[in-house]
Amino acid sequence: MKTGRILAFGKTFFKRINIFIKSFNETSIFAIWMAGFMLAGAFLWGLTANLRNDITAKTINRILDETEEERRLVAAISTWHIPGNVTQFGTWYVMTSHENAVLFSFIMEGIFVPCLAIVGNGGDLSALIPLTVNADRAVSRMNPGYLRIWIDRIKRNAGILKQALDEKDRRREDA
């Protein structure tokens, strides 16, 4: 009797294992496809970074033209070699006035607020330009303490960026 139970248990056990293996194979194939799509998307996202930055710069230059600002964005600054959270804050650009500018955004009261902060050569904030009408309204209603936090973050990141760019220039001159 015991051998019959063992054989019956063995048959159902192996049936369950076979079902598990089939479903595991199907799941793993699906996971591999998803990983492939994610890898391809990340690769394309990385390859189109310069194109995206150029299109963004052209759009912002049109906005600056409408606001009668004489300074324009020239090119994005490559920040992949800079330590810290400079790249996490926003996209940095060089302007025609040899100042740096950072494009960043945040959400306040459910409103998407894109802003351009122009940072002078000394590391101080020259201008904070909201890029949409809703962003202008949101910035004007913003708590001064919250605005001070953003300005401090911009100044801190501008200092880190300036140090890294100066070091890069020194290396280039030494070579």
> Is residue 90 within 8 Å of residue 76, measured between CB atoms?
no
Residue 153 located in a structural domain: yes
- Summarised one tens digit per residue, pLDDT across range 65-78 is 988 888 899 988 87
**Domain assignment of residue 130, given as a range:** 70-174
Residue 12 located in a structural domain: no
- Summarised one tens digit per residue, pLDDT across range 83-124 is 666 666 788 898 988 888 999 888 888 889 999 999 888 778
The Cα–Cα gap between 76 and 89 comes to 14
**50: Cβ contacts below 8 Å, ≥ 6 apart:** 76
**Total structural domains in the chain?**
1
The long-range contacts involving 107-116, CB below 8 angstroms and separated by at least 24 positions, are 108/138, 108/142, 109/138, 111/135, 111/137, 111/138, 113/138, 113/139, 115/139, 116/60, 116/64
- Summarised one tens digit per residue, pLDDT across range 127-149 is 889 999 998 998 888 888 988 98
Above pLDDT 70, what percent of the chain?
88
Higher pLDDT, 99 or 9: 99
In which element (H, E) is residue 64 found? helix 49-66
Question: DSSP assignment, residue 122?
Answer: T
Residue 102 located in a structural domain: yes
Residue 61 located in a structural domain: no
The Cα–Cα gap between 70 and 17 comes to 71
